[in-house]
Chain A
């Protein structure tokens, strides 16, 4: 079947299997920043923004996003670089596998929460697992980023 989406600002028609998960479709069409991690919606490395909201692309049928606006890190390179600068500065860009999904959730947070507390930030990002950093460095980086990009 075909679906019509806006991906990173561009209008596209994709041919998909009815049971195909969005993650697989995205990777098939070359959006390789979207990673495959756990197959169960538990880790967040496949996060994309669908109509501005972070969603795990492994857990949503591609057919469902017909007509939606999808953003991957390929589409927010400047923002990723800005957030990335804070991450790199803390050394929390470790294996990097969770980074693109993490960046998108941070962008979702920025859009959705106006004056988040430290707890709000942790809670918003809690669906993004990371096995390398122990999280606290990421918290330092994002805290600084949010403070300085106000």
Chain B
């Protein structure tokens, strides 16, 4: 299957790499024309308040100020900024600006002016009267709180998602298979626990930037660092009551997204200024704005129960989730569902399983999409508790996993029951090398000699711990990708795609797929992506969909192009297509041959009435969402006197099917691991008791540095998914899932304390050690 591959499964350089290393202008901010209005927003200092009056008379007088808008000056059309497929599974609970502000950093007014100084001064001069309302800042008391965060009667959901604004519930979901309570009651061994996962910030190094202008056709052009150009266009159309044909969205190079750029952010503010003034306008987010006014990961609380028999065969899992979506319900339901749908099927041989979750509104910065998307959170809870189960059973966690984890050819009822926002799709797992991943990853870390612990000095103990994980590959029956291939004279192709490369290398791997399908070299493909005027439909870069969904579309388009080429050549040489071979850039029949280069030039200039443009296209919607799998194993060293610990090594073995570009796949996993490690031990979005974010810059919000983790060891299993493009599944998200549980388990194995609230800090470890001593 894999052995014949020429273009894919090969580590060609990322096509945009060298240009970016050399600092060529490529990102949104690099493309901004000069003499453009600067747009900034006035933010709420209150976690929850009603805006009684906005007086900007004085501010307007500042020299260089062009326009100021409060909620009264902008359309009040309710939207969701989530940036998902349509109809969205997120509640419509948001306006461009509104008379309520629901978190510190929520926008109150838009100011546009000619200089930074003028805009800053105007911001200071705007006088706002607020009626400060009681803020809801505790996840546990949000549901049914007397303070209702979305009192507006217009808020609604497109279809039932459990939305109940009066109770501060953005979404809710319940499902079960079998009678969980009964099976647990009857089981021989039971464990249960409560786990907390914190809000994590995506922290792409490029902030959220955009600029807008109206072109000579009178159309609104939006250039933005986004993961979802098509959704941006659709949502802007609704919010601004504009037909979509009046809007073009273009995504330049993006400096990282990780989910944080799936939603709309500055686009509507900029567009308001451009539409009302007729002038080009830009919005460059400060890091503080990125933290306070964009989005983060949903913080969650899990109540989890697992039961097994004495041999260690798991019989029941009961997962109860409370999730914090912050001020707006973007991704509330889907992140919740993924917590179940991308963890529970790992243990598919249970007799009963239940998943129950509520997503509440609070007056925190809204949560949104973030790599891992619920799976990461649930993975921490489930894989931590299974470690406890193994201990209780007196067997190793390796044995417990081997006895219970899903294997190739198997299914889980959950695939059908739980999708993302709606029902899922039944499927058999056609590729699953978890057994190999497990054996290999513990071999890489040297588990046999290290498990569970080794004392290396009086106060220094090392331990190892593991976790397994799965993710998806796009949302089946919903996510669609498409591609257009155009042959040019001189024999090269344009590949036009809506797919959104946010630094992941998708433009490169999709060029490889197209080249493989056509039978040419990837260097003869020129990629153009993410421009709603020119590129075909694609839902965007999220849900681990680009490689699998768009990859399949590109492959189909490539095969169509190959067929078209051969047919056209056959016609030219008056033979049947079967008599034409195409290899190494040359078409050959029994008698004649012609290079692609020559053929294409002749086709466009010299074939008389047979001259024509060759274009092929296709699209793809996943019939299923084949999960990638992985095993992650951490080795830590704990200082028992201070609780300080170091991650000495993290070994991961991944089954993502064929690695279309092994180098880029590896970096996806290594990068995912590091973000997962950040989530596990360093990163935390923290608020004051009045709801002001304390961690609104990189001096207080700490992401890992290159000195923090001593070693990452990443390998891939030899795997091939028949439904994927040349056997590929997704690899973008899965790397982030295992570190929280694997590190928590390693620390437990080292020093005997279980940290159930992320992040796992030295302070928590030491406090737990002291408690244990007592």
Contacts and interface: CB of A to CB of B under 8 A. Distances in A.
Interface stretch (B1-9, B361-369, B661-669): B661-669
A10 interface: no
Nearest to A84: B21
B651 to A, nearest CB: 12
B24 to A, nearest CB: 8
Nearest to A77: B22
B254 A95 contact: yes
Nearest to B27: A97
Interface stretch (B312-320, B410-418, B428-436, B497-505): B497-505
Interface in B12-43: 13-14, 16-18, 20-27, 29-30
B706 A88 contact: no
Nearest to B203: A131
B37 to A, nearest CB: 16
Interface in B657-704: 661, 663-664, 666-667, 670-675, 697-699, 703-704
B205 A97 contact: yes
B23 A134 contact: no
B128 interface: no
B155 interface: no
- Give the interface residue-count category, chain A: 35 or more
B698 A38 contact: yes
B705 interface: yes
Contacts of B23: 32-34, 72-74, 80, 99-100, 103
A73 B256 contact: no
Interface string A72-101: 111001001101110111111111111110
Given A42-B697, A42-B698, A88 B707 contact: no
Contact of A91 (B666, B704, B705): B666
A123 B705 CA distance: 10
B614 interface: no
A136 B661 CA distance: 18
A45 interface: yes
A83 B253 CA distance: 21
Interface stretch (B74-82, B233-241, B284-292): B284-292
Interface in A93-150: 93-100, 103, 122-123, 125-126, 128-139
A97 B203 CA distance: 12
B546 to A, nearest CB: 14
Contacts of B675: 131, 134
B769 to A, nearest CB: 29
A96 B24 CA distance: 10
A136 B288 CA distance: 28
B709 A91 contact: no
A17 B670 CA distance: 43
A40 B287 contact: yes
Given A37-B287, A88-B13, A99 B709 contact: no
A114 B143 CA distance: 61
Contact of A97 (B11, B117, B255, B709): B255
Contacts of B11: 91
Contact of A131 (B24, B26, B258, B661): B258
B14 to A, nearest CB: 5
A125 B706 contact: yes
B30 A32 contact: yes
B205 A95 contact: yes
A17 B207 CA distance: 24
A45 B206 CA distance: 9
Contacts of B286: 39
Nearest to B30: A32
Nearest to A86: B21
B255 A88 contact: no
B711 interface: yes
B21 A132 contact: no
A43 interface: yes
B62 interface: no
B505 A135 contact: no
Interface in B702-730: 703-707, 709, 711-712
B85 interface: no
B204 interface: yes
Interface in A10-40: 17, 27, 32-40
A95 B703 CA distance: 17
Contacts of B698: 38, 40, 42-43, 129
Contacts of B674: 133-135
Nearest to A44: B205
Given A95-B255, A122-B706, A139-B706, A39 B664 contact: no
A81 B18 CA distance: 7
A73 B27 CA distance: 16
Given A40-B697, A42-B699, A83-B21, A136 B13 contact: no
A84 B18 contact: yes
A93 B697 contact: no
Nearest to B677: A134
A74 B13 CA distance: 22
Nearest to B11: A91
B205 A81 contact: no
Contacts of A129: 205, 698, 703, 705
Contacts of B673: 134
Nearest to B115: A17
A90 B13 CA distance: 8
Nearest to B665: A91
A103 B504 CA distance: 20
Nearest to A121: B706
A72 B22 CA distance: 10
Q: Select the residue from B503, B675, B703, B712 with max chain A CB neighbours within 10 A.
A: B503
Contact of A94 (B287, B661, B671, B712): B671
Contacts of B697: 38-40, 42
Contacts of B284: 36
A131 B670 contact: no
B711 A136 contact: yes
Contacts of B203: 131
Given A37-B287, A91-B667, A95-B253, A81 B22 contact: yes
A132 B671 contact: yes
Given A38-B698, A94-B504, A133-B671, A100 B661 contact: no
Contacts of B670: 133-137
B438 to A, nearest CB: 22
A96 B17 contact: yes
A103 B707 contact: no
A92 B712 CA distance: 14
B289 to A, nearest CB: 10
Given A36-B284, A80-B23, A91-B14, A137 B255 contact: no
B712 A136 contact: yes
A133 B20 contact: no
B505 A37 contact: no
Contacts of B706: 122, 125-126, 128, 130, 135, 138-139
Contacts of B666: 91, 137
Contacts of A136: 670, 709, 711-712
A93 B697 CA distance: 25
Given A32-B25, A91-B664, A134-B671, A37 B502 contact: no
B256 A93 contact: no
B205 A98 contact: yes
Contacts of A91: 11, 13-14, 505, 661, 663-664, 666-667
Contacts of B117: 17
Interface of A: 17, 27, 32-40, 42-43, 45, 72-74, 77, 80-81, 83-85, 87-100, 103, 122-123, 125-126, 128-139
Given A43-B698, A45-B205, A72-B23, 11 more contacts: A32-B29, A38-B205, A43-B205, A97-B205, A100-B21, A100-B22, A132-B256, A134-B670, A135-B670, A135-B674, A139-B706
The list of the 10 closest CB pairs from A to B, nearest first, reads A33-B23, A95-B503, A96-B20, A97-B255, A91-B663, A93-B17, A134-B670, A84-B21, A134-B674, A73-B23
8 contacts: A32-B23, A90-B667, A91-B505, A91-B663, A94-B667, A97-B204, A125-B706, A133-B667
